[in-house]
A and B are shown apart, each in its own frame.
Chain A
Amino acid sequence: MKINVLFFGMLADKAGNKKVSIEIDKPNATVADVISIVREKIKTLPEGNFLLAVNEEQAEPSTSISDKDEVAIMPPFSGG
Chain B
Amino acid sequence: MTKEDKKVRIQEEDFSVEIEIKELLATSKLIGGVVTFLGTARDFSEGKNVETIEFEEYKGMALKALKKLQIEMLSRFDIIEARIIHRVTSVKPGEQIVLIVVGAEHRKEAFTACQWCIDTLKETVPIWKKELTPDGESWVTSHP
Question: A residues near B, CB below 8 A?
Answer: 6, 8-10, 13, 51, 53, 56-58, 72, 74-80
B128 A56 Cβ-Cβ under 8 A = no
Which of the candidate stretches B25-33, B107-115, B118-126 sits at the interface with the other chain? B118-126
Residues of B within 8 A of A13 (CB): 139
**Which residue on chain B has the smallest CB distance to residue A56?**
B61
Question: B residues near A, CB below 8 A?
Answer: 39, 55-58, 60-62, 64, 86, 97-98, 118, 121-130, 139-143
A9-B56, A53-B58 known; A77-B139 Cβ under 8 A: no
A53 B143 Cβ-Cβ under 8 A = no
Judged by DSSP, the binding face of B is mixed
A8-B56, A9-B56, A53-B61 known; A74-B142 Cβ under 8 A: no
B121 A79 Cβ-Cβ under 8 A = yes
Within the assembled complex, what's the spacing in Å between the Cα atoms of A72 and B127?
A: 13
A78 interface neighbour in B61, B118, B122, Cβ under 8 Å = B122
B128 A75 Cβ-Cβ under 8 A = yes
B61 interface neighbour in A72, A75, A80, Cβ under 8 Å = A72
